């Protein structure tokens, strides 16, 4: 807040004038005053006691007196041990409300020509299976992070890297060739990504049978895993693909197109999109070129079996394989190539990878390898590392077919939304078409908000029923509050009540109104902090605190029936601005809010 910057400067000046000491502004620790004490902003005084050579209480009182004399907005102060609590005048808070009211994009900083360009990679699916619950958290975090970065004045490129090659892709291809009987999405009525995922599961089932058969013949498990017929077939298919065998490439193209069509449907339903999509099948070649250049320049080394490695022992890490003995690439090779291509395509100031925390080591190594290869951007890569998401029944495994598909989960959420809404009578009077649209809006809000309100670094448990509760810290609760505010404003208009958006700074304002105005003033800070910390959760939980405070206010203080015109006007403006912030903040999370509910 601007008032905090002003107070910080005046505290530095107070120390200089009162104690003849120069102080670093970073030592000035300001925080919100705790609820049990009177005040708005609290200064931690202890760092200045050695300068004043007085008790913390006396030091706090002297600084407080100086601020009261030199900062018009400081109405009064009190001292609690080593803490100086400052009370900011109500006229200041009303001026803040006036500013928020006058700004349709309050809290948002639009990018300009000098803005930094940030590229954010998220989603990163494999073309051997549909998107699942883990992908949902990834997509929602990535999309929301992009919106938050844009809201802080950055230019943003939303990008996706599709992992469309490799042994896992060949497993689905091999299974379709062996047991598919020519099935297609059209012939089966199965969505393309689901159909291909079914064959990935089938491969694993057959592969396990072959392993057990070989072990039964006296072979070791290690030998069986390496020499099972299905695994040998998938490896042969990968070598043929890299050699551009026409039949293999044709099969690969057909099955990948099935998956892409399926992904497009899921992305649209989830409400996420991309500005640029890269494909591993193209970028891995750039990566191989760079690895071979690194080998020629002595940056990497080759083992007797012709595999290429990086020695990272000097960095406190181990040896990292970059090319297998048969010349095929690994994920690291592809990521090197993709990074190089991205920085050639765009003049990126920052590259952010939204990838789960199980890949922390991978991105640590990627940064080091790019730096070794001479790319200046190597050290500046940021891994947005997030925790895993589970359902109450536990972990999921794609190859065993125990994942929760994104499509199935969204369909389930819409059904839960329908049942919950009907039981509570939330959408009475809606046409079937209106109700269907609103059920979906509520379902996606429940899903997205529940995912995004949790600190990204933490693992989380997703409970569909809990997420759709119309009370508590949920998306539907916030949506319902927004709809309530819109209803109040519509009724005001219907009654011919005109809102005067310029409030006099001498207007009488109660404690509850004041608390809401203070929360409104914190929205720009919440948006900035969310960007600085790469955490959509900070926006989500700020909105919840605002909504919770508004609902308490709504239940105890009349708005439309308030007889004092000045107070009624103030309460309508507060309601209007709370609604505006809810809509803006939820948009940063990729969530829509209904006008009626």
Residue 397: its pLDDT value, please? 44
Q: How far apart are CA 497 and CA 311, in angstroms?
A: 74
Q: Which of 296-300, 426-430, 433-437 comes out lowest in average pLDDT? A: 426-430
Sheet holding 155-162, edge to edge: 276-279, 155-162, 117-121, 350-356, 382-386
Residue 501 has pLDDT above 70, yes or no: yes
Residue 395: its pLDDT value, please? 47
Pseudo-torsion of CA 319, 323, 325, 326, nearest 10°?
A: 160
CB contact set of 401 (below 8 Å; sequence gap of 6+): 197, 198, 201
Residue 391: its pLDDT value, please? 76
Q: Which contiguous run of DSSP H or E holds residue 308?
A: strand 308-311
pLDDT in tens, 310-368: 999 999 999 999 999 988 888 899 899 999 999 999 989 999 999 999 999 999 999 99
Banded pLDDT at 80 (limits 50, 70, 90): very high
DSSP code per residue over 6-69: HHHHHHHHHHHHHH-----GGG--EEEPPTTSS-SEEEE-GGGHHHHTS-HHHHHHHHHHHHHH
pLDDT in tens, 570-587: 999 999 999 999 999 999
How many angstroms separate the Cα of 74 from the Cα of each of 6, 80, 95, 192, 517? 11, 17, 14, 64, 17
More confident residue, 353 or 395: 353
pLDDT in tens, 3-17: 999 999 999 999 999
Residue 400 has pLDDT above 60, yes or no: no
Residue 403: its pLDDT value, please? 66
pLDDT in tens, 168-218: 999 999 999 999 999 999 999 999 999 999 999 999 999 999 999 999 999
Residue 301 has pLDDT above 90, yes or no: yes
The CATH number of 446-588 is 1.10.730.10
Residue 489: its pLDDT value, please? 97
Q: What is the mean pLDDT of residues 247-269?
A: 97
Residue 11: its pLDDT value, please? 96
Identify which of 138, 133, 144, 137 has the alpha carbon closest to the alpha carbon of residue 160.
Answer: 138
Banded pLDDT at 401 (limits 50, 70, 90): very low
pLDDT in tens, 527-549: 999 999 999 999 999 999 999 99
More confident residue, 406 or 404: 406
Banded pLDDT at 1 (limits 50, 70, 90): confident
Q: Which of 101-115, 405-419, 507-521 comes out lowest in average pLDDT? A: 405-419
What is residue 537's DSSP assignment? H
CATH class assigned to 2-88: alpha beta
3-state DSSP assignment of residue 76? strand
Q: What is the mean pLDDT of residues 20-45?
A: 92
Q: Which residues pair with 42 in a beta bridge?
A: 31, 85
Residue 431 has pLDDT above 90, yes or no: no
pLDDT in tens, 259-277: 999 999 999 999 999 999 9
Residue 4: its pLDDT value, please? 92
In the chain, what are the domain boundaries?
Answer: 2-88, 122-390, 446-588
pLDDT in tens, 484-500: 999 999 999 999 999 99
122-390 topology per CATH = Rossmann fold (3.40.50)
Q: How far apart are CA 84 and CA 405, in angstroms?
A: 54
Banded pLDDT at 396 (limits 50, 70, 90): very low
Q: How far apart are CA 539 and CA 354, in angstroms?
A: 18
Residue 398: its pLDDT value, please? 40
Residue 428 has pLDDT above 60, yes or no: yes
CB contact set of 438 (below 8 Å; sequence gap of 6+): 421, 427, 430, 594, 597
Residue 233 has pLDDT above 50, yes or no: yes
Residue 393: its pLDDT value, please? 66
Phi-psi region of 48 (alpha: psi -120 to 50; beta: other; left: phi over 0): alpha
Residue 130: its pLDDT value, please? 93
Residue 436 has pLDDT above 80, yes or no: yes
Q: What is the 3-state secondary structure (H, E, C) of 462-517?
A: CCHHHHCCCCCCCHHHHHHHHHHHHHHHHHHHHCCCCCCCCCCCCCCCCHHHHHHH
Mean pLDDT of the chain: 93
Residue 527: its pLDDT value, please? 98
> Dihedral of CA 331/332/333/335: which sign?
positive
């Amino acid at each position: 807040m601007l008032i905090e910057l002003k107070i910080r400067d005046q505290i530095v000046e107070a120390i200089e004038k009162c104690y003849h000491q120069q102080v670093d502004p970073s030592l000035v620790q300001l925080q919100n005053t705790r609820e049990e004490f009177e005040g708005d902003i609290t200064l931690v005084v202890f760092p200045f006691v050695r300068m004043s050579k007085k008790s913390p209480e006396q030091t706090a009182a002297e600084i407080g007196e100086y601020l009261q004399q030199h900062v018009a907005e400081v109405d009064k102060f009190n001292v609690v041990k080593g803490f100086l609590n400052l009370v900011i005048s109500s006229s200041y808070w009303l001026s803040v409300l006036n500013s928020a009211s006058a700004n349709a994009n309050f809290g948002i900083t639009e990018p300009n020509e000098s803005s930094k360009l940030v590229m954010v990679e998220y989603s990163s699916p494999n073309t051997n299976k549909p998107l699942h619950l883990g992908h949902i958290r990834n997509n929602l975090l990535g999309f929301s992070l992009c919106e938050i970065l844009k809201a802080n004045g950055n230019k943003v490129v939303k990008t996706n890297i599709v992992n469309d090659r490799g042994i896992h892709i060949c497993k689905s291809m091999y299974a379709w060739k062996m047991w598919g009987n020519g099935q297609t999405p059209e012939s089966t009525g199965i969505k393309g990504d689901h159909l291909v995922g079914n064959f990935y599961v089938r491969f694993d089932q057959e592969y396990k049978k072959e392993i057990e058969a070989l072990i039964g013949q006296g072979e070791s498990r290690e030998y069986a895993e390496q020499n099972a017929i299905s695994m040998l077939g998938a490896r042969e298919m990968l070598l043929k693909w890299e050699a551009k065998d026409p039949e293999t490439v044709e099969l690969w193209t057909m099955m990948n197109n099935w998956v892409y069509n399926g992904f497009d449907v899921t992305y649209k339903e989830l409400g996420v999109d991309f500005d640029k999509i890269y494909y591993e099948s193209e970028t891995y070649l750039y990566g191989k070129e760079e690895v071979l250049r690194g080998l020629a320049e002595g940056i990497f080394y080759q083992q007797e079996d012709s595999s290429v490695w990086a020695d990272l022992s000097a960095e406190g890490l181990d040896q990292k394989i970059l090319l297998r003995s048969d010349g095929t690439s690994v994920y690291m090779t592809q990521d090197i190539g993709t990074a190089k291509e991205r920085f050639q395509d765009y003049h990126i100031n920052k590259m952010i990878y939204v990838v789960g925390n199980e890949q922390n080591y991978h991105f640590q190594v990627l940064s080091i390898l790019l730096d070794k290869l001479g790319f200046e951007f190597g050290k500046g890569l940021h891994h947005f590392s997030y925790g895993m998401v589970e359902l109450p029944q536990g972990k999921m495994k794609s190859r065993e077919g125990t994942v929760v598909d994104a499509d199935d989960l969204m369909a389930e959420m819409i059904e839960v939304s329908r049942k919950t809404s009907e039981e509570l009578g939330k959408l009475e009077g809606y046409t079937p078409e209106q109700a269907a649209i609103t059920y979906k809006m509520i379902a996606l809000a429940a899903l997205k908000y529940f995912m995004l309100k949790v600190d990204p670094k933490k693992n989380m448990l997703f409970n569909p029923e809990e997420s759709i509760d119309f009370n508590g810290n949920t998306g539907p609760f916030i949506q319902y509050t927004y709809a309530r505010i819109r209803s109040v404003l519509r009724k005001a208009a219907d009654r011919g009540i005109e809102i005067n958006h310029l409030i006099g700074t001498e207007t009488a304002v109660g404690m509850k109104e004041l608390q809401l105005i203070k929360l409104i003033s914190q929205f720009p800070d919440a948006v900035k902090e969310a960007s600085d910390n790469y955490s959509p959760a900070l926006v989500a939980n700020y909105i919840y605190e605002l909504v919770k405070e508004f609902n308490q206010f709504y239940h105890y203080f009349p708005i439309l029936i308030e007889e004092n015109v000045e107070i009624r006007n103030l309460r309508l403006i507060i309601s209007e601005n709370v609604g505006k912030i809810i809509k803006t903040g939820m948009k940063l999370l990729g969530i829509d809010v209904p006008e009626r509910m």
